[in-house]
């Protein structure tokens, strides 16, 4: 008798493969056979686990959001100094370049938000979680005396996330007028003004 198939592992492998295919080809031209080739499976196997492409793409989006948030926490949670923690958080939010797979995938998937409540909810959730992360770092820094906030922490946090998103979109869109280092320095400039911390 053959071993029972690990359906959870197969589904996870398909989600990973679909994510790679979307990052490489974009959503518009995505086909089942592209995902199958990336996963090393047949097109029939893809359809067995995900009869609807939209369901698979939503799972890719969900996974991409979770990995991104986890990576941001991993970059900042071990840092105890408030100034260094904010600097690390800002550094974790920018694409490394036009080919950054994580950011490229997220921006591509966010495009679905206009037509899909599921994708819109994931995009809103990511924004809220990033704002919460920044708000915590800012409030802790203010209590510690490292920051003198010019505005409420939540407002500064929302602006920082919006700046990240805006510059990040230009970077992954290959706008040569904005480099990752320039974007980071500009965001740090806003953070210095908003926190009253010249050492950022």
CA 39 to chain centre: 23
pLDDT of res. 3 = 45
17 touches 10 (CB < 8 A): no
pLDDT of res. 197 = 97
Confidence of residue 1 (pLDDT cuts 50, 70, 90): very low
- How far is the C-alpha of 89 from the C-alpha of 145, rounded, in Å? 19
pLDDT of res. 5 = 58
Mean pLDDT of 173-180: 94
Res 173 pLDDT > 70: yes
Mean pLDDT of 69-85: 96
pLDDT of res. 39 = 87
Res 132 pLDDT > 90: yes
Dmax over CA atoms of the chain, in Å, equals 68
């Amino acid at each position: 008798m053959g071993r029972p198939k690990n359906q959870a592992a197969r589904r996870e492998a398909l989600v990973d493969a679909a994510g790679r295919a979307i990052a490489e080809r974009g959503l518009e031209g995505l086909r089942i056979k592209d995902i199958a080739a990336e996963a090393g499976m047949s097109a029939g196997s893809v359809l067995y686990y995900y009869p609807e492409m939209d369901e698979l793409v939503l799972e890719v989006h969900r996974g991409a959001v979770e990995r991104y948030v986890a990576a941001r926490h991993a970059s900042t949670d071990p840092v105890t100094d408030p100034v260094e923690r904010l600097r690390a958080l800002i550094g974790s939010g920018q694409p490394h370049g036009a080919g950054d797979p994580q950011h490229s995938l997220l921006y591509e998937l966010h495009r679905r938000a206009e037509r899909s409540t599921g994708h819109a909810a994931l995009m809103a959730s990511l924004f809220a979680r990033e704002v919460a992360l920044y708000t915590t770092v800012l409030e802790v820094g203010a209590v510690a005396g490292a920051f003198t906030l010019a505005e409420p922490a939540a407002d500064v946090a929302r602006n920082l996330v919006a700046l990240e998103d805006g510059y990040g979109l230009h970077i992954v869109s290959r706008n040569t007028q904005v480099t990752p280092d320039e974007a980071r320095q500009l965001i740090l400039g806003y953070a210095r003004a908003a926190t009253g911390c010249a050492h950022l």
